[in-house]
Structure 1
């Protein structure tokens, strides 16, 4: 078995890490709760381009800051708040011991995403890392899936596991993979469901040994 694993809000809790960092930035700027709520909305779970968000932060909170400097802060400072749950690490060690190949497949910059892997101890558990900036294509582009599949071209039992319905799940399905959706409590938004779904990665990985070849759901 070969697992392609998304990083942010799948392997690591990017949502909580960014919220923690954002609270410090708002306090630094002398802002209040409404500013923090605005920043979390503006971040859009990391999907807003960093330069665009940096410009908006400068306009609202830090008018003396250079957007380029803020962009670098957005990219790197929340990394110090990133965590991976002990349950996920234990699952990955178990899978690694069973001979399952583990590849991170992530959109983002190499410097940022690799720093998260090192900080959380995930780097030592992985067979390969495929990051959009480094391969020149981002999920759901078929090219990035092809780059990840090249890490184990002879394994017919390959899964894409992630939290994003389009980038991870529909992208993975289009590449011919079984899919596992980390729902984070959200309802599945499309007609065709993923192969497996569960609210957390740990719960989803629990399904794999018994349910690797059939659809299933944990509520």
Structure 2
């Protein structure tokens, strides 16, 4: 089995790390709670272009840093606070270990972002030891939901010995679920308690990532019995 997994909001709590950094940053530059909420809304869970966020932040707080410097800070200063969601490392280990009549899965992270930023998140969180490979949009030249990102990841997984059913699991309905479905993958959605927003429906849904990975693992074991 092949499991392609999103990083931010799926394997690691990017939102929590960015929120903590945003509070520190805004307070240090004379802002208040309204400015923190504004920044979090503008950030859009990391999907807003960093240059746009940097320019708006510079204007709102009257910052001396230039836009390029602020982009660098937005990209990297929250990374040391990034942690895996509860149970994720254990479930990744279980997936990559043969048991219950199931062959070990090959797990490849598929993430939008810069190579330096995303690889650092994997290192800081410890997940670099829990996955078999990583494909970052910057290195491919296109972002999820473009099917080419998934094709590169599938090829990487195959090189690592992955075979059989192929899954894409993530928290974003478009980038992960619609993108994965469009590339011919089975899909799992981490809902976080949100209602499904529409579009191609996922094959599996769970509130949290560990629960979703466990469902993927159990399904694979059942099919082999």
Could you state the TM-score of these two structures normalised by the residue count of structure 1?
0.93
Distance 2:127 2:212 in 1: 18
Structure 1 gap segments, 5+ residues each:
215-219
Structure 1 match to 2:192: 184
Distance 2:195 2:131 in 1: 30
1:129-148 to 2 correspondences below 5 Å: 129-148=134-153
1:100 is displaced (CA, Å) by 0.9
Structure 2 match to 1:7: 7
1:30 is displaced (CA, Å) by 0.9
Assess, with a 3 A threshold, how the Cα gap between structure 1 residues 169 and 191 changes in structure 2: closer, same or farther. closer
What is the aligned residue count? 214
Distance 2:62 2:24 in 1: 13
Question: Match of 1:152, SS?
Answer: helix
1:190 is displaced (CA, Å) by 1.5
Structure 2 gap segments, 5+ residues each:
99-103
1:209 is displaced (CA, Å) by 3.0
1:159-198 to 2 correspondences below 5 Å: 159-190=167-198, 192-198=200-206
**Is contact 2:122-2:128 (8 Å) kept?**
yes
Structure 2 match to 1:20: 20
Asked if residue 93 in structure 1 is aligned to residue 101 in structure 2, the reply is no
1:12 is displaced (CA, Å) by 0.1
User: Which segment is superposed worse, 92-101 or 177-186?
Assistant: 92-101
Could you state the TM-score of these two structures normalised by the residue count of structure 2?
0.91
The list of structure 1 runs, each at least 4 consecutive aligned residues, that deviate by more than 2 angstroms after superposition, is 209-214
**Is contact 2:110-2:153 (8 Å) kept?**
yes
Structure 2 match to 1:209: 217
Q: What is the aligned-residue RMSD (CA, Å)?
A: 1.5
Asked if residue 66 in structure 1 is aligned to residue 66 in structure 2, the reply is yes
Cα deviation digits, residues 52-106 of structure 1 (max 9, x gap): 1000000001432211111100000010110013411111111111211010000
Question: Match of 1:27, SS?
Answer: helix
Structure 2 match to 1:79: 79
Structure 2 match to 1:217: none
Asked if residue 127 in structure 1 is aligned to residue 132 in structure 2, the reply is yes
Distance 1:44 1:134 in 2: 23
Structure 2 match to 1:157: 165
